[in-house]
Structure 1
Amino acid sequence: MSSAKYDVLGIGNAIFDILVQTDEGFLASHGMTKGGMSLIDESRAAAIYRDMGPATEMSGGSAANTIVGLANLGARAAYVGKVKNDQIGKLYAHDIRAAGVAFETRPATDGPATGCSYILVTPDGERTMNTYLGAAQELMPSDIDADQVAASAIVYLEGYLWDPKSAKDAFVKAAGIAHEAGRQVALTLSDSFCVDRYRGEFLDLMRNGTVDLVFANEAELHSLYQTSDFDAALKQFRADVNLAIVTRSEKGCVVASKDDVTAVPAFPIEKMVDTTGAGDLFAAGFLFGLVRGAGYENAGRLGALAAAEVIQHIGARPQTSLKQLAQQSGLPA
């Protein structure tokens, strides 16, 4: 295997995040399911935005958050996602490049606006997302640069890509190129509602070897195997994929390979503010540990450290240098 130009290449829905702190009443009045992600159209997006209070705005999207976290740790990171050539699309591109990420996907010149997610954060730190995919669903197989994929040690894909048909094709194309080049393919299941929509297809991706390692939280794991029995679900998960990583909030995480299971505790925090991006940043830390050859336990600890940083402030991007935090904690960085 030739040496990689990039440690990790992320492919995902490029979404601009609009975050607001709100209460349960707002969720109820808009008929929202707390803690989930709903796909919405442009008119519903406008109605939610009209009723929202003052917001924090930043570029986002699940895989993009992970890739920014990786760059923050010092990894060589690249991202593929579709925005429109509009004001928010230009902001998005500037934002992700400013974070040290290679971002070369051509913006769409026509069609829907750049995607946005309206993220409502309740006082308990739980986030409820309403996502207008917009231009993100225009990601095509032609947007996948074969040379860039082949030059990346790990290609990281988000489950949300399974919603738009053309993005799904782009995902499968990238996985094929990566494997031909001897690279690894990682998938995050994104959320339990996404798993409900595509359970059979996700299981096929795992069982037919399209993906090598999979990230899931407990809710996604239980949804994937339709059981409330954690141990039974984990056993099946291990059988279906080479490396299974399950995040368990304050209980830490479990890293399960075919022959071993490693439990890693969560990092202590002072105050939970906003869970947006917790899983994304966990994946960033874990993948960083993996490409650095730090072993599963240290990879899990790096994931826990990155997740702990991001849940103590608003927004899904690090506000403190993760590289410095890792060094202070005696972790590889």
Structure 2
Amino acid sequence: MGAEELPSPLPKKYEQSPLILGLQPSALIDHIARVDWSLLDQIPGERGGSQPVAIEELMHILSEVKTHILLSPDDPSPIRTIAGGSVANTIRGLTAGFGVTCGIIGAYGDDEQGQLFVHNMSFNGVNLSRLRMKKGPTGQCVCLVDAVGNRTMRPCLSNAVRLQVDELTKEDFRGSKWLVLRYGIYNLDIIQAAIRIAKQEGVSVSLDLASFEMVRNYRSPLLELLESGDIDLCFANEDEATELLRGEQNSDPEAALVFLANHCKWAVVTLGSNGCIVKHGKEIVRVPAIGEAQATDATGAGDLFASGFLYGLVNGLSLEDSCRVGSCSGGSVIRSLGGEVTPENWQWMYKQMQIKDLPVPNLCK
């Protein structure tokens, strides 16, 4: 959406380039609610995945949520509204929980949701000098969480303001080490442009496969991206990994890991409660999930795993220890609603890292 860019109230100059950048062309606000099964039965599309909806459908779901809330004694706030989006979750986790300097490239609308996104991300220390304000609405997503912590997402980005390809500059990327991306067919043009500039500036690229529906429905352009050799690190969950090799003789997560590692330096397949498997060169590591994590809401589990894993990579940790940190951070976010880790759960994560003899970020010492 080529909306008019407005003068930004955000600071344009920071002292240093962020170590890690996230590209999220459209800022997004998550409405997370714990609901009963009957509401999920009424909503089109498969449970557990992510399927775009129009703004009318999103507003309808939000109105229905109020009569389907599952109250929990552990969580007095049954609905949370926070800055969201996979990339934003990962970047926010890296700054707030690990003290890694991060920035986000994208656009937000001149509305209440846009202001909420800006406030939440800046409060958590994210560099917003590459975030543009535009005239129009900010993207929104309803995240419905069932009684056992599984989440179903219905994003609405069709009318949201969006960063355009010609708005990317080399200066956005200069001096940074990593670019974090999420695969999406609607953003394919800007993803390709960002990768091209990142590679020119010597920035490594991390790609998350987004959702099993996205992999299933838009597999060909995804394969082209992977086969380009420009993706240095790829994250897939078990469902996405299976979809990637659908129709092949062997489409299990291990086969997908090998496939991804043929095209990327680091390949990561997360397996939920079974942990993760990772391949780098000839090294393959399998790390169990953290046993002490109680799943309240799976939203952001993969995003925060990526935060921990990237923290490990940029700090020179071994492949296994990077996975173990990812397991701790992924375990921290599922203990409460939404893709943002609470202060109490960061403390829980630091304690888990200490128990496992992992280097704890300086900011918590």
Same fold (TM over 0.5): yes
1:51 equivalent in alignment to 2:71: no
Pick aligned residue for 1:131 from 155, 160, 183:
155
Q: Distance in 2 between matches of 1:82 and 1:148?
A: 13
What CA deviation, in whole Å up to 9, does each residue of 1:201-258 have, x standing for no partner? 1111111122111000111011011154333332222222221111111111111123
Label 1:325 to 1:139 Cα distance change in 2 as closer, same or farther (>3 A): farther
Q: Distance in 2 between matches of 1:34 and 1:137?
A: 27
Q: 1:190 aligns to what?
A: 210
Amino acid at match of 1:237: L
Q: 1:245 aligns to what?
A: 268
Q: 1:28 aligns to what?
A: 41
For structure 2, the residue ranges without an aligned partner over 5 or more in a row are 1-15, 67-77
Q: Distance in 2 between matches of 1:123 and 1:173?
A: 41
Q: Distance in 2 between matches of 1:304 and 1:34?
A: 24
Q: Distance in 2 between matches of 1:326 and 1:136?
A: 39
Pick aligned residue for 1:77 from 77, 93, 102:
102
The 3-state SS of whatever aligns with 1:83 is strand
The 3-state SS of whatever aligns with 2:240 is helix
Q: Distance in 2 between matches of 1:148 and 1:241?
A: 24
Which 4+ residue blocks in structure 1 deviate beyond 6 angstroms? none
Q: Distance in 2 between matches of 1:136 and 1:211?
A: 27
Q: 1:273 aligns to what?
A: 296
1:277 offset after TM fit, Å?
Answer: 0.3
1:290 offset after TM fit, Å?
Answer: 0.6
What CA deviation, in whole Å up to 9, does each residue of 1:15-43 have, x standing for no partner? 10001111111111233421011100111
Amino acid at match of 1:169: D
1:138 offset after TM fit, Å?
Answer: 2.0
Pick aligned residue for 2:185 from 141, 158, 163:
163
Q: 1:92 aligns to what?
A: 117
Segment drifting more, 120-129 vs 76-85:
76-85
The 3-state SS of whatever aligns with 1:92 is helix
Segment drifting more, 74-83 vs 145-154:
145-154
Q: Distance in 2 between matches of 1:255 and 1:136?
A: 35
For structure 1, the residue ranges without an aligned partner over 5 or more in a row are none
Which has a greater percent of helix?
1
Pick aligned residue for 2:22 from 3, 10, 18:
10
What CA deviation, in whole Å up to 9, does each residue of 1:51-90 have, x standing for no partner? 1126211111000000001002110011122221111111
The 3-state SS of whatever aligns with 1:280 is helix
The 3-state SS of whatever aligns with 1:103 is coil
Q: Distance in 1 between matches of 2:22 and 2:221?
A: 20
Amino acid at match of 1:331: L
1:143 and 1:170 in contact (8 A); partners too: no
RMSD: 1.8
Q: Distance in 2 between matches of 1:148 and 1:223?
A: 33
Q: Distance in 2 between matches of 1:327 and 1:235?
A: 29
1:331 equivalent in alignment to 2:349: no
Amino acid at match of 2:18: Y
2:305 and 2:330 in contact (8 A); partners too: yes
How many residues are matched?
324
The 3-state SS of whatever aligns with 1:36 is coil
1:144 offset after TM fit, Å?
Answer: 2.4
Amino acid at match of 1:188: D
Identity of matched residues, %: 31
TM-score norm. by structure 1 comes to 0.92
Segment drifting more, 221-230 vs 277-286:
221-230
TM-score norm. by structure 2 comes to 0.84
After the TM superposition, which residues 241-320 of structure 1 pair with which residues of structure 2 at under 5 Å, given as runs? 241-319=264-342, 320=345
What CA deviation, in whole Å up to 9, does each residue of 1:244-278 have, x standing for no partner? 11111111111112311111121122521000000
1:9 and 1:149 in contact (8 A); partners too: yes
Segment drifting more, 20-29 vs 321-330:
321-330
2:257 and 2:268 in contact (8 A); partners too: no
1:178 equivalent in alignment to 2:204: no
The 3-state SS of whatever aligns with 1:102 is coil
What CA deviation, in whole Å up to 9, does each residue of 1:169-209 have, x standing for no partner? 22222212221222210100011111112211111111112
1:114 and 1:134 in contact (8 A); partners too: no
